[in-house]
Amino acid sequence: MATFAFFDTKPYDIPGFEKYSKGTDIQFRFYETKLCADTVSLAEGCDGVVVFVNDTVDKTVIDKLYDMGVRLIALRCAGFNNVDTASSFEKIHIVRVPAYSPYAVAEHAMAMLLCSIRRIHKAFNRTREFNFSLQGLCGFDLHGKTVGVVGTGKIGRVFADICRGFGMNVIAYDPYPAKDVWFEYASLDELLSRSDIISLHCPLTAETQHIINAESIAKMKKGAVIINTSRGQLIDTDALIDGIKNKTVGAACLDVYEEESDIFFEDYSGHIMQDDTLARLVSMPNVILTSHQGFLTTDALENIAKVTVENIQCFLEGKDLQNEVCYHCGKGEICRKNRLGKCF
Protein backbone atom coordinates (compact mmCIF):
# COMPACT_ATOMS: atom_id res chain seq x y z
CA MET A 1 0.00 0.00 0.00
CA ALA A 2 1.44 3.38 -1.05
CA THR A 3 0.83 6.27 1.34
CA PHE A 4 0.52 9.89 0.27
CA ALA A 5 0.47 12.93 2.57
CA PHE A 6 -2.34 15.20 1.36
CA PHE A 7 -1.67 18.83 2.35
CA ASP A 8 -3.99 21.87 2.56
CA THR A 9 -7.04 19.62 2.75
CA LYS A 10 -10.49 21.15 2.56
CA PRO A 11 -13.75 19.25 3.22
CA TYR A 12 -14.67 19.36 -0.47
CA ASP A 13 -11.41 17.59 -1.42
CA ILE A 14 -11.92 14.38 0.53
CA PRO A 15 -14.98 12.71 -1.11
CA GLY A 16 -13.52 12.66 -4.62
CA PHE A 17 -10.12 11.35 -3.57
CA GLU A 18 -11.66 8.67 -1.36
CA LYS A 19 -13.93 7.67 -4.26
CA TYR A 20 -11.21 7.30 -6.86
CA SER A 21 -8.62 5.70 -4.54
CA LYS A 22 -11.09 3.03 -3.38
CA GLY A 23 -9.94 -0.38 -4.54
CA THR A 24 -6.42 0.86 -5.35
CA ASP A 25 -3.15 0.48 -3.46
CA ILE A 26 -3.21 4.18 -2.59
CA GLN A 27 -4.09 5.63 0.79
CA PHE A 28 -4.11 9.29 1.76
CA ARG A 29 -3.23 11.00 5.02
CA PHE A 30 -5.30 14.18 4.98
CA TYR A 31 -3.73 17.24 6.66
CA GLU A 32 -5.35 20.66 6.93
CA THR A 33 -1.98 22.37 7.20
CA LYS A 34 -0.11 23.61 4.13
CA LEU A 35 3.17 22.04 3.10
CA CYS A 36 6.24 24.10 4.01
CA ALA A 37 9.60 23.61 5.72
CA ASP A 38 7.89 23.56 9.12
CA THR A 39 5.33 20.87 8.19
CA VAL A 40 7.28 18.67 5.78
CA SER A 41 7.95 16.15 8.57
CA LEU A 42 4.28 15.11 8.30
CA ALA A 43 5.29 13.27 5.11
CA GLU A 44 7.67 11.00 7.03
CA GLY A 45 7.09 7.39 5.95
CA CYS A 46 5.08 8.41 2.87
CA ASP A 47 5.77 7.52 -0.74
CA GLY A 48 4.59 10.88 -2.03
CA VAL A 49 2.74 14.11 -1.32
CA VAL A 50 -0.36 15.71 -2.81
CA VAL A 51 -0.21 19.51 -2.86
CA PHE A 52 -2.20 22.54 -4.02
CA VAL A 53 -1.53 26.09 -5.24
CA ASN A 54 -0.45 27.68 -1.96
CA ASP A 55 1.77 24.90 -0.65
CA THR A 56 5.46 25.78 -0.58
CA VAL A 57 7.56 23.26 -2.48
CA ASP A 58 10.93 25.00 -2.57
CA LYS A 59 14.44 23.52 -2.51
CA THR A 60 14.43 23.13 1.27
CA VAL A 61 11.17 21.18 1.22
CA ILE A 62 12.20 19.09 -1.79
CA ASP A 63 15.52 18.11 -0.21
CA LYS A 64 13.77 17.08 3.01
CA LEU A 65 11.16 15.09 1.10
CA TYR A 66 13.88 13.34 -0.88
CA ASP A 67 15.82 12.46 2.26
CA MET A 68 12.63 10.94 3.71
CA GLY A 69 12.20 8.74 0.65
CA VAL A 70 9.42 10.68 -1.09
CA ARG A 71 9.64 10.17 -4.84
CA LEU A 72 6.47 11.80 -6.20
CA ILE A 73 4.86 15.23 -5.85
CA ALA A 74 1.29 15.14 -7.17
CA LEU A 75 -0.12 18.58 -7.84
CA ARG A 76 -3.92 18.67 -7.78
CA CYS A 77 -3.92 21.79 -9.97
CA ALA A 78 -2.60 22.94 -13.32
CA GLY A 79 -0.09 25.60 -12.25
CA PHE A 80 3.29 24.66 -10.79
CA ASN A 81 4.90 28.02 -10.08
CA ASN A 82 5.08 27.12 -6.36
CA VAL A 83 7.34 24.13 -7.08
CA ASP A 84 11.11 24.40 -7.58
CA THR A 85 11.20 22.08 -10.57
CA ALA A 86 14.95 22.47 -11.06
CA SER A 87 15.69 21.30 -7.51
CA SER A 88 13.43 18.28 -7.91
CA PHE A 89 14.96 17.10 -11.20
CA GLU A 90 16.51 13.63 -10.93
CA LYS A 91 15.22 13.40 -7.36
CA ILE A 92 11.42 13.61 -7.22
CA HIS A 93 8.96 13.32 -10.08
CA ILE A 94 6.23 15.97 -10.38
CA VAL A 95 2.81 15.42 -11.95
CA ARG A 96 -0.10 17.81 -12.33
CA VAL A 97 -3.69 18.08 -13.56
CA PRO A 98 -3.33 20.15 -16.73
CA ALA A 99 -7.02 20.52 -17.64
CA TYR A 100 -9.41 19.65 -14.82
CA SER A 101 -12.08 22.00 -16.22
CA PRO A 102 -11.19 24.98 -18.38
CA TYR A 103 -14.91 25.77 -18.44
CA ALA A 104 -15.06 26.25 -14.66
CA VAL A 105 -12.39 28.96 -14.64
CA ALA A 106 -13.47 30.64 -17.88
CA GLU A 107 -17.11 30.75 -16.77
CA HIS A 108 -16.08 32.22 -13.41
CA ALA A 109 -14.17 34.96 -15.24
CA MET A 110 -17.28 35.82 -17.25
CA ALA A 111 -19.48 35.64 -14.13
CA MET A 112 -17.29 38.19 -12.37
CA LEU A 113 -17.25 40.42 -15.44
CA LEU A 114 -21.04 40.41 -15.74
CA CYS A 115 -21.45 40.97 -12.01
CA SER A 116 -19.10 43.96 -12.18
CA ILE A 117 -20.33 45.78 -15.26
CA ARG A 118 -24.03 45.25 -14.49
CA ARG A 119 -23.58 46.04 -10.78
CA ILE A 120 -25.26 42.78 -9.75
CA HIS A 121 -23.47 42.70 -6.40
CA LYS A 122 -24.69 46.19 -5.55
CA ALA A 123 -28.25 45.49 -6.70
CA PHE A 124 -28.36 42.29 -4.63
CA ASN A 125 -27.35 44.12 -1.46
CA ARG A 126 -29.85 46.92 -2.14
CA THR A 127 -32.89 44.76 -2.77
CA ARG A 128 -32.24 42.73 0.37
CA GLU A 129 -32.85 46.01 2.21
CA PHE A 130 -35.91 46.74 0.02
CA ASN A 131 -34.08 49.54 -1.78
CA PHE A 132 -35.27 49.30 -5.39
CA SER A 133 -33.64 52.47 -6.70
CA LEU A 134 -31.63 52.09 -9.91
CA GLN A 135 -29.44 55.11 -9.20
CA GLY A 136 -25.76 54.24 -9.68
CA LEU A 137 -26.41 50.84 -11.26
CA CYS A 138 -25.93 51.77 -14.92
CA GLY A 139 -23.58 49.38 -16.72
CA PHE A 140 -22.61 48.84 -20.36
CA ASP A 141 -23.20 46.27 -23.10
CA LEU A 142 -20.59 43.62 -23.79
CA HIS A 143 -21.80 43.26 -27.38
CA GLY A 144 -19.39 45.02 -29.73
CA LYS A 145 -16.72 45.59 -27.07
CA THR A 146 -13.15 44.39 -27.56
CA VAL A 147 -11.74 41.87 -25.10
CA GLY A 148 -8.04 41.12 -24.92
CA VAL A 149 -7.20 37.57 -23.84
CA VAL A 150 -3.66 37.20 -22.47
CA GLY A 151 -2.74 33.54 -22.73
CA THR A 152 -4.50 31.19 -25.13
CA GLY A 153 -4.22 27.82 -23.48
CA LYS A 154 -7.37 25.79 -22.92
CA ILE A 155 -8.89 28.24 -20.42
CA GLY A 156 -8.06 31.30 -22.50
CA ARG A 157 -9.61 29.76 -25.62
CA VAL A 158 -12.78 28.74 -23.75
CA PHE A 159 -13.08 32.28 -22.41
CA ALA A 160 -12.63 33.64 -25.94
CA ASP A 161 -15.44 31.36 -27.14
CA ILE A 162 -17.73 32.61 -24.37
CA CYS A 163 -16.97 36.21 -25.33
CA ARG A 164 -17.71 35.40 -28.96
CA GLY A 165 -21.15 34.24 -27.85
CA PHE A 166 -21.75 37.70 -26.40
CA GLY A 167 -20.88 39.31 -29.73
CA MET A 168 -17.55 40.68 -28.55
CA ASN A 169 -14.46 41.33 -30.64
CA VAL A 170 -11.64 39.09 -29.38
CA ILE A 171 -7.93 39.75 -29.74
CA ALA A 172 -5.25 37.72 -28.01
CA TYR A 173 -1.62 37.76 -26.99
CA ASP A 174 0.52 34.68 -26.43
CA PRO A 175 4.25 34.19 -27.08
CA TYR A 176 3.31 30.72 -28.36
CA PRO A 177 0.21 31.31 -30.52
CA ALA A 178 -2.24 28.45 -30.91
CA LYS A 179 -2.96 27.15 -34.39
CA ASP A 180 -6.33 27.04 -36.10
CA VAL A 181 -8.01 29.65 -33.92
CA TRP A 182 -10.72 32.02 -35.06
CA PHE A 183 -9.54 35.12 -33.19
CA GLU A 184 -6.81 37.63 -33.99
CA TYR A 185 -3.39 37.68 -32.34
CA ALA A 186 -1.73 41.00 -31.51
CA SER A 187 1.29 42.26 -29.65
CA LEU A 188 0.84 42.87 -25.95
CA ASP A 189 1.09 46.64 -26.38
CA GLU A 190 -1.56 46.59 -29.13
CA LEU A 191 -3.84 44.42 -27.00
CA LEU A 192 -3.50 46.81 -24.06
CA SER A 193 -4.31 49.87 -26.15
CA ARG A 194 -7.27 48.34 -28.03
CA SER A 195 -9.08 46.35 -25.35
CA ASP A 196 -12.07 47.46 -23.33
CA ILE A 197 -11.63 44.36 -21.18
CA ILE A 198 -8.39 42.47 -20.48
CA SER A 199 -8.52 38.93 -19.11
CA LEU A 200 -5.41 37.10 -17.88
CA HIS A 201 -5.17 33.36 -18.56
CA CYS A 202 -1.41 32.84 -18.66
CA PRO A 203 0.81 30.86 -16.25
CA LEU A 204 3.05 32.62 -13.75
CA THR A 205 6.65 32.61 -14.98
CA ALA A 206 9.61 34.95 -14.67
CA GLU A 207 8.43 36.57 -17.91
CA THR A 208 4.79 37.05 -16.87
CA GLN A 209 5.29 38.14 -13.26
CA HIS A 210 3.73 41.64 -12.97
CA ILE A 211 2.79 41.61 -16.65
CA ILE A 212 0.21 44.14 -15.49
CA ASN A 213 2.23 46.96 -13.94
CA ALA A 214 2.35 50.75 -13.94
CA GLU A 215 3.81 50.84 -17.46
CA SER A 216 1.28 48.45 -18.97
CA ILE A 217 -1.65 50.13 -17.20
CA ALA A 218 -0.58 53.46 -18.69
CA LYS A 219 -1.00 51.93 -22.16
CA MET A 220 -4.59 50.82 -21.55
CA LYS A 221 -7.78 52.44 -22.67
CA LYS A 222 -9.19 54.73 -20.03
CA GLY A 223 -11.76 52.76 -18.05
CA ALA A 224 -10.52 49.30 -19.07
CA VAL A 225 -11.71 46.34 -16.99
CA ILE A 226 -9.07 43.84 -15.80
CA ILE A 227 -9.91 40.20 -15.02
CA ASN A 228 -7.47 37.81 -13.35
CA THR A 229 -8.40 34.19 -12.68
CA SER A 230 -4.88 32.83 -13.15
CA ARG A 231 -2.20 33.78 -10.62
CA GLY A 232 -2.07 36.82 -8.35
CA GLN A 233 1.52 37.75 -9.14
CA LEU A 234 0.60 38.50 -12.74
CA ILE A 235 -0.55 41.88 -11.40
CA ASP A 236 1.44 44.46 -9.45
CA THR A 237 -1.27 45.21 -6.89
CA ASP A 238 0.06 48.63 -5.92
CA ALA A 239 0.11 49.66 -9.59
CA LEU A 240 -3.44 48.33 -10.00
CA ILE A 241 -4.67 50.38 -7.05
CA ASP A 242 -3.02 53.49 -8.51
CA GLY A 243 -4.66 52.74 -11.87
CA ILE A 244 -8.06 52.46 -10.22
CA LYS A 245 -7.53 55.69 -8.29
CA ASN A 246 -6.57 57.66 -11.41
CA LYS A 247 -9.47 56.02 -13.32
CA THR A 248 -7.32 54.41 -15.99
CA VAL A 249 -8.67 51.10 -14.71
CA GLY A 250 -12.46 51.17 -14.67
CA ALA A 251 -12.91 47.96 -12.68
CA ALA A 252 -11.04 44.87 -11.55
CA CYS A 253 -12.37 41.32 -11.22
CA LEU A 254 -9.88 39.29 -9.21
CA ASP A 255 -10.08 35.64 -8.22
CA VAL A 256 -6.43 35.68 -7.15
CA TYR A 257 -4.16 38.00 -5.20
CA GLU A 258 -0.37 38.11 -5.15
CA GLU A 259 -0.13 37.73 -1.36
CA GLU A 260 -2.96 35.22 -1.06
CA SER A 261 -1.03 32.21 0.22
CA ASP A 262 -1.62 32.83 3.94
CA ILE A 263 -5.11 34.31 3.52
CA PHE A 264 -7.21 32.64 0.85
CA PHE A 265 -9.15 29.46 1.64
CA GLU A 266 -9.37 30.48 5.33
CA ASP A 267 -12.07 32.26 7.39
CA TYR A 268 -10.84 35.58 8.81
CA SER A 269 -14.28 37.12 9.24
CA GLY A 270 -13.77 37.43 13.00
CA HIS A 271 -10.35 39.05 12.70
CA ILE A 272 -8.86 42.41 11.76
CA MET A 273 -7.35 42.07 8.29
CA GLN A 274 -3.61 42.65 8.69
CA ASP A 275 -2.96 42.96 4.94
CA ASP A 276 -3.63 46.65 4.32
CA THR A 277 -3.34 46.31 0.55
CA LEU A 278 -5.97 43.58 0.41
CA ALA A 279 -8.24 45.53 2.77
CA ARG A 280 -7.92 48.50 0.44
CA LEU A 281 -8.85 46.42 -2.62
CA VAL A 282 -11.89 44.94 -0.89
CA SER A 283 -13.09 48.43 0.08
CA MET A 284 -13.10 49.70 -3.51
CA PRO A 285 -16.60 49.72 -5.06
CA ASN A 286 -15.35 48.79 -8.53
CA VAL A 287 -13.33 45.76 -7.40
CA ILE A 288 -14.86 42.29 -7.20
CA LEU A 289 -12.68 39.85 -5.28
CA THR A 290 -13.26 36.12 -4.87
CA SER A 291 -10.90 33.81 -3.01
CA HIS A 292 -9.45 31.63 -5.78
CA GLN A 293 -12.72 29.79 -6.37
CA GLY A 294 -12.64 29.72 -10.16
CA PHE A 295 -11.88 25.99 -10.12
CA LEU A 296 -14.60 25.17 -7.58
CA THR A 297 -17.29 23.23 -9.40
CA THR A 298 -18.41 19.67 -8.77
CA ASP A 299 -17.26 18.76 -12.28
CA ALA A 300 -13.77 20.17 -11.72
CA LEU A 301 -13.37 18.56 -8.28
CA GLU A 302 -14.28 15.18 -9.78
CA ASN A 303 -11.75 15.62 -12.59
CA ILE A 304 -9.02 16.80 -10.22
CA ALA A 305 -9.43 13.74 -7.99
CA LYS A 306 -9.70 11.31 -10.91
CA VAL A 307 -6.65 12.59 -12.80
CA THR A 308 -4.50 12.96 -9.68
CA VAL A 309 -5.19 9.36 -8.64
CA GLU A 310 -4.50 8.21 -12.21
CA ASN A 311 -1.19 10.12 -12.19
CA ILE A 312 -0.20 8.41 -8.95
CA GLN A 313 -1.19 4.98 -10.26
CA CYS A 314 0.85 5.48 -13.43
CA PHE A 315 3.88 6.37 -11.33
CA LEU A 316 3.48 3.40 -8.99
CA GLU A 317 3.02 1.00 -11.91
CA GLY A 318 5.97 2.39 -13.85
CA LYS A 319 3.82 3.63 -16.74
CA ASP A 320 4.29 6.74 -18.88
CA LEU A 321 3.77 9.99 -16.97
CA GLN A 322 1.93 12.07 -19.55
CA ASN A 323 1.26 14.84 -17.02
CA GLU A 324 4.80 15.08 -15.68
CA VAL A 325 6.46 18.47 -15.23
CA CYS A 326 10.16 19.24 -15.07
CA TYR A 327 12.34 22.33 -15.32
CA HIS A 328 12.89 21.74 -19.04
CA CYS A 329 9.18 22.21 -19.77
CA GLY A 330 8.20 25.46 -21.44
CA LYS A 331 11.75 26.79 -21.71
CA GLY A 332 12.59 25.70 -25.21
CA GLU A 333 14.64 22.75 -23.97
CA ILE A 334 14.59 19.52 -25.91
CA CYS A 335 12.33 17.16 -23.99
CA ARG A 336 14.31 14.07 -22.99
CA LYS A 337 11.32 11.79 -23.05
CA ASN A 338 9.20 13.32 -25.85
CA ARG A 339 6.18 12.75 -23.62
CA LEU A 340 7.03 9.08 -23.19
CA GLY A 341 8.19 7.35 -20.04
CA LYS A 342 9.50 9.61 -17.27
CA CYS A 343 11.69 12.71 -17.30
CA PHE A 344 14.50 10.82 -15.57
- 146 occurs within a structural domain: yes
Residues 11, 74, single domain; the answer is: yes
> Residue 40: which domain range?
2-100+298-325
Residues 83, 213, single domain; the answer is: no
Residues forming beta bridges with residue 3, ordered by sequence position: 27
Cα 99 → chain centroid? 12
Known catalytic residue: 231? Answer: yes
Radius of gyration of the chain from Cα atoms?
A: 21
Show contacts of 159-162: CB within 8 Å, 24+ apart: 159/106, 159/109, 159/110, 159/199, 159/201, 162/106, 162/107, 162/110
Residues 153, 255, 61, 342, Cα dihedral to 10°:
-20
Percent of the chain with pLDDT over 70: 96
Q: Which residues contact 198 (CB under 8 A, 6 or more apart)?
A: 147, 148, 150, 191, 192, 212, 220, 224, 225, 226, 227
Residues 8, 112, single domain; the answer is: no
Residues 278, 194, single domain; the answer is: yes
Residues 152, 108, single domain; the answer is: yes
Residues 241, 310, single domain; the answer is: no
Q: pLDDT tens digits, residue range 67-100?
A: 999 999 999 998 899 999 999 988 999 999 988 8
Q: pLDDT tens digits, residue range 244-257?
A: 999 999 999 999 99
Residues 134, 272, single domain; the answer is: yes
Question: Is the pTM above the cut of 0.85?
Answer: yes
Residues 80, 110, single domain; the answer is: no
Q: pLDDT tens digits, residue range 121-142?
A: 999 999 999 999 999 999 999 9
Residues 147, 278, single domain; the answer is: yes
**Quick one: pLDDT at residue 332?**
43
Q: Please report, for the domain that includes residue 212, its CATH number.
A: 3.40.50.720
Choosing from 260, 302, 333, 336, the catalytic residue is: 260
Residues 145, 225, single domain; the answer is: yes
For 107-123, the DSSP string reads HHHHHHHHHHHTTHHHH
Q: Is the pLDDT of residue 326 over 80?
A: no
Please state, rounded to an integer, the average pLDDT across all residues of the chain: 94
Known catalytic residue: 260? Answer: yes
Q: pLDDT tens digits, residue range 155-181?
A: 999 999 999 999 999 999 999 999 999
Choosing from 93, 108, 157, 292, the catalytic residue is: 292
Choosing from 157, 231, 258, 324, the catalytic residue is: 231
Q: pLDDT tens digits, residue range 204-234?
A: 999 999 999 999 999 999 999 999 999 999 9
Known catalytic residue: 215? Answer: no
- 337 occurs within a structural domain: no
Number of domains in the chain: 2
Residues 251, 168, single domain; the answer is: yes
Q: What is the side-by-side order of every strand in the sheet holding 197-200?
A: 184-185, 169-173, 146-150, 197-200, 224-228, 249-254, 287-289
